[in-house]
């Protein structure tokens, strides 16, 4: 039997598992089965607690299709709450080693409950090789991208530890997000695929976005997508440096975009339930 916890950040849900409770490494097929909402537990991904010499805790992040993500803002908040609520840490501030770099989490504890986490997310970069994006070494800001169906969109590509592609629109349309999202995600310009955001700047400190997440599809909310979109909005002069509120279908996050392009994410988190994968189910993986 494999114990797990399930939490969400604004409707973006993840399962947390300790690698020490696994008999064997999770295969792509096992990850997809666990994340399936009909045949498994159901989630937008798996957060795997792993040992690391580089930080207080190590984290591997897996998408529902079995691929591995570098970083997740919502995932990090869920992971931080798991560590606090399950007694893995007594310090409200600690470091987490991810594939996308080292981050610092700060848990806000009020009235004996921890439901809000601040994450230092590292720095944004728009340089093509660092995203990565094929083509010349340049800042990818307002660049035309022709899609497989003949549509051309203007994009700003940015890495916040994982790749993002932001296109600014006058009106957000979920159907367009679902139609164009996979075309951008799998565009040959992005060798590791990319997360996709459709964004509309409402004010100098307010941004509305829709998200097509790499390996997961249409998503209610995303921490790194909020970071990527806020950074792109500031880089394009649509928002100002400082605190930018990002609104998504699942709710709001606040991203602080500093002049050196370092990022801080603030947002709520909730644990939904704890359980175990049965021996029978685990054996079938």
Secondary structure E strands in 75-188 = 93-98, 101-110, 113-123, 143-146, 152-159, 163-168
CA angle 281, 51, 43 (to 5 degrees): 40
SS3 226: helix
Q: What is the pLDDT of residue 178?
A: 98
Residue 247 has pLDDT above 90, yes or no: yes
CATH of domain 2-120+270-284: 3.10.310.10
Residue 36 — very low, low, confident or very high, per pLDDT cuts 50/70/90? very high
| CB-based contact 78:107 (threshold 8 Å) | no
Are 255 and 263 in contact by the 8 Å Cβ rule? The answer is: yes
Start-end ranges of CATH 3.10.310.10 in the chain? Answer: 2-120+270-284, 125-260
Nearest to 210 by CA among 234, 182, 177, 245: 177
Prediction pTM value? 0.93
Task: List pLDDT tens digits, range 60-115.
Answer: 999 999 999 999 999 999 999 999 999 999 999 999 999 999 999 999 998 889 99
Looking at 3.30.750.24, 3.40.640.10, 3.10.310.10, 1.10.3720.10, the CATH number of the domain 125-260 comes to 3.10.310.10
Per-residue pLDDT tens for 128-137? 999 999 999 9
pLDDT tens-digit readout, 179-210: 999 999 999 999 999 999 999 999 999 999 99
Q: What DSSP character marks residue 150?
A: S
229 close to 197: Cβ distance less than 8 angstroms: yes
């Amino acid at each position: 039997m494999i114990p797990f916890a399930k939490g969400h950040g604004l409707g973006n849900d993840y399962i947390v598992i300790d690698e020490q409770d696994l008999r064997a490494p999770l295969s792509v097929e096992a990850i997809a089965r666990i994340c399936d909402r009909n045949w498994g537990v159901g989630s937008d991904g798996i957060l795997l607690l792993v040992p690391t010499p580089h930080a207080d805790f190590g984290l591997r992040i897996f998408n529902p299709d079995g691929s591995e993500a570098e970083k997740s803002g919502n995932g990090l908040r869920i992971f931080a709450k798991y560590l606090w609520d399950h007694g893995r840490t007594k310090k409200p501030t600690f470091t987490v080693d991810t594939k996308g770099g080292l981050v610092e989490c700060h848990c806000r504890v009020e009235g004996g409950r921890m439901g809000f986490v601040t994450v230092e997310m590292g720095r944004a970069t728009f340089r093509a090789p660092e995203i990565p994006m094929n083509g010349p070494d340049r800042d990818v800001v307002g660049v035309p991208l022709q899609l497989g169906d003949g549509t051309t969109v203007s994009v700003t590509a940015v890495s916040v530890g994982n790749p993002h592609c932001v296109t600014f629109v006058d009106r957000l349309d979920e159907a367009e997000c679902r139609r164009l999202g996979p075309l951008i995600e799998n565009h040959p310009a992005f060798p590791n695929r990319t997360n996709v955001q459709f964004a509309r700047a409402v004010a100098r400190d307010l941004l509305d976005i829709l998200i097509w997440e790499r390996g997961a599809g249409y998503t209610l909310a995303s921490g790194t997508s909020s970071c990527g979109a806020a950074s792109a909005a500031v880089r394009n002069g649509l928002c100002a440096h400082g605190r930018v509120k990002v609104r998504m279908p699942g709710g709001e996050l606040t991203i602080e975009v500093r002049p050196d392009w370092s990022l801080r994410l603030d947002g709520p988190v909730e644990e939904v339930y704890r359980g175990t994968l049965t021996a029978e189910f685990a054996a079938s993986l």
